[in-house]
Amino acid sequence: MAFYQAWADMLEWMREYAVEHEGVRFVKQADFTDYIYRMARPYDLPTTILSASLSNDHDEPILLASASQRASVFKEVVLHPFESHVYRKLALAKDGSGLSEGPRRFTKEALFRLADELFAVAVA
């Protein structure tokens, strides 16, 4: 459950970035399948969102983020800049709180810096 709480926290950072930056939108791309097909069962993850993007005003994704399904053995968040072959994989930090890229903690500041760089390239 800690992995999905860290994912939900990152989604909140993405929402904050979109609110604070003109021309940026937070867009939900997909929900978790176990949320979609839950029928009458209760849903216990802290978010329903499987993937989301920071997109421009033309609804073009600039940064896509997605989390592993609940059934996945190895849980990870993938950050994929659109129109790039480079992507980043984040896992639950060793202390069980937040996400990390290898030994480096992935912070709100790191997300904002990455988004700033990507939106600067997208505008150019």
pLDDT tens digit sequence for 12-33: 999 999 999 999 999 999 998 8
pLDDT tens digit sequence for 54-72: 999 999 999 999 999 988 8
End-to-end CA distance of the chain: 40
pLDDT tens digit sequence for 69-123: 988 889 999 999 988 888 999 999 999 999 999 999 999 999 999 999 999 876 5
Nearest to 31 by CA among 69, 72, 82: 69
Query: Which CATH architecture group holds 2-123?
Result: 2-Layer Sandwich (3.30)
* Extents of the domains making up the chain: 2-123
Indicate the pTM of the whole model: 0.92
19 phi and psi, to 5 degrees?
A: -65, -40
